[in-house]
A = this chain, B = another copy of it.
Amino acid sequence: MRTTSVDFIRIATKGPGDVSGLASMIASGSIDPKSILAVLGKTEGNGGVNDFTREYAVSALCVALAPHLDMPPDGVEHRIAFVMSGGTEGVLSPHITVFTRRSVAGSGGISGKRLSIGMAHTRDFLPEELGRRAQIEETAKAVTAAMADAGIKDPRDVHFVQIKCPLLTSDRMEAAVARGNKPATTSAYTSMAYSRGASALGVAVALGEIKDAICDADVLRRYDLFSSVASTSAGIELMHNVVIVLGNSDMSASPYEIGHAVMHDAIDAAAVIDALKSVGLPAGAGPHAGRELVNIFAKAEASPSGTVRGFRHTMLEDTDISSTRHARAAVGGLIAGLAGTSAVYVSGGAEHQGPPGGGPVAVIVRL
């Protein structure tokens, strides 16, 4: 018995504050604002600590959606999960993908598993908990809750887990120190990596990808521990983790399927092709056999080893451009080339998300 359906609408944006595309789709009835569960977006900032395009985009979306939801802008952010990933380096094109969910009655004659979404939140973290066991464990619990929300029982049906997680600012670090506790790092920029890494490890724990116990010291060190489906993004605007699970479920009546593969390094074209094939798409092509690409979600990072297949890269020793920007640009170029479109979601900072230097790549296709 199918009980829910989901929809995915990709909308190009003209700037971080541009909500005109969404507004006209609401006006035309293409999107029911009350059904919006989450919005994933790429905004054109630097993706670092001082990337205000993320919060600006969220703010603009809240202001635009508030009247439709009969609540003040503040309330919207608690109802809908907004995950804005900063950085559209290279060919990457700013856009948002709106995820909606509604109840349906009956299966409509659909056979097989279809794309479903589930969501959950952790509690607020203390600054000193970021990048450590508390964040890992709370995230794992939230992943399990989100799977249940999506109607997914088998971890193998989970193909992408998007998490939005906090970072440390000077204020937050001071607060921790004032309580007599030491945060995981004294650098705001580095705290983004810690938070992303611990959140990804939480996914791996929840899905059984890691069996052994994880300790604080493993975070950002034991890169052999990772999740193949986690994608985590740090933002200044929250203190808890928001977890969105995407997978295939026999409870879903949606017209979409999702698949994934794992890039083993930043030039792993074969993995991108595998991910496309897993949902019946050829590489580099448009619609195929009635299947149309909706979006690709991937994580990218500079290989911590300093090399890619034996050749040195310079991403980690560049004082002008942060390594996350380099990695998004390069992996974005490869994925856009193979997908045939530059409006793809490639997010930086893949700590414990896929093997070191690699990352997960998930593809959503409309049947």
List residues of chain A with CB under 8 Å of any chain B CB: 12, 14-17, 44-53, 55-56, 59-60, 63, 73, 88-95, 169-170, 187-190, 266-270, 272-273, 283-284, 305-306, 308-309, 311-322, 325-327, 329-334, 336-338, 340-343
* A–B Cβ pairs within 8 angstroms, 5 of them: A17-B55, A46-B320, A90-B327, A93-B313, A269-B283
A24 CB, min distance to chain B CBs, angstroms:
17
Q: For the complex, give the distance between the alpha carbons of A332 and B20 in Å.
A: 34
A263 CB, min distance to chain B CBs, angstroms:
9
> Hey, which chain B residues are within 8 Å of A311, CB to CB?
12, 93, 95, 341-343
Please determine whether B333 and A90 come into contact, CB atoms closer than 8 angstroms. Answer: yes
> Hey, which chain B residues are within 8 Å of A322, CB to CB?
319
Please determine whether A52 and B50 come into contact, CB atoms closer than 8 angstroms. Answer: no
Q: For the complex, give the distance between the alpha carbons of A188 and B318 in Å.
A: 10
Most chain B CB within 10 A, of A309, A313, A341, is at A313
> Hey, which chain B residues are within 8 Å of A334, CB to CB?
333-334, 336-337
> Hey, which chain B residues are within 8 Å of A284, CB to CB?
269-270, 273
Please determine whether A319 and B50 come into contact, CB atoms closer than 8 angstroms. Answer: yes
Q: For the complex, give the distance between the alpha carbons of A49 and B318 in Å.
A: 7
Q: For the complex, give the distance between the alpha carbons of A343 and B73 in Å.
A: 31
A77 CB, min distance to chain B CBs, angstroms:
13
Contact partner of A333 (CB less than 8 A), chosen from B55, B95, B317, B331, is B331
Please determine whether A314 and B94 come into contact, CB atoms closer than 8 angstroms. Answer: yes
Please determine whether B56 and A50 come into contact, CB atoms closer than 8 angstroms. Answer: no
> Hey, which chain B residues are within 8 Å of A15, CB to CB?
52, 55
A356 CB, min distance to chain B CBs, angstroms:
13
Contact partner of A330 (CB less than 8 A), chosen from B63, B91, B313, B317, is B91
Most chain B CB within 10 A, of A45, A49, A187, A320, is at A320
Most chain B CB within 10 A, of A267, A327, A341, is at A267
Please determine whether A308 and B266 come into contact, CB atoms closer than 8 angstroms. Answer: no
Question: Quick one: given A90-B326, A326-B329, are A309 and B53 in contact (CB under 8 Å)?
Answer: no
Please determine whether B342 and A336 come into contact, CB atoms closer than 8 angstroms. Answer: no
Q: For the complex, give the distance between the alpha carbons of A44 and B51 in Å.
A: 10
Q: Which residue of B lies closest to A59 (CB)?
A: B17
Contact partner of A50 (CB less than 8 A), chosen from B60, B189, B308, B314, is B314
